[in-house]
Amino acid sequence: MKILLNEKALNEGVERLADEINETYGDKPLTIVGVLTGSVILMADLIRKLKMPLRVGVVQTSSYEGTERGALTINSEMMLDIADRDVLLIDDIFDTGNTLEEVTQLMKGLGPTSLRSAVLLLKTGRQLVDWKPEFVAFDIPDEFVVGYGLDFNDEFRNLPYLACLEPADIQGFTEV
């Protein structure tokens, strides 16, 4: 695997993201909703850098099998009540945008005062929706990436860096 962002670069990107969010919200209470499972590491690192009062919840989505996108499923049973609250939706990657679009629409129906989104990665040139997250740590090329919460078949989430999974890596992994 080729390392795209090392641990130091990721930490600096999360710090920049936190600074932007702190500047936007100031001391206003904020409800964070992380999209499981990919956002867990980002969310944990990010909330430790935020200065406002926080509530933290999650929503679970699933859309990938290996490297192929399938039907999106959303499980919002673990999500906090977000009515009349400022909400920040946290996700690992903005690829086509379909997942964040659908989760955002679901959440808008729950009556938040405001709803913004933050992502670690925005994959260049892949968007199929007409908007982008308000907060983005990194723009990346159109590569299949793993590490720092992102996975391939539930593997590699624990890598402290972000790596591009090459076709040979995928082939070798599926043959094991």
Active site residues: 95
What one-character-per-residue DSSP string does the chain give?
-EEEE-HHHHHHHHHHHHHHHHHHHTTS-EEEEEEETTTHHHHHHHHTT--S-EEEEEEEEEEEETTEEEEEEEE-TTPPP-TTSEEEEEEEEESSSHHHHHHHHHHHTT--SEEEEEEEEEETT---SS---SEEEEEE-S--EEBTTB-BTTBSTT-SSEEE--HHHHHHHHH-
Contact indicator for 151, 157 with CB cutoff of 8 Å: yes
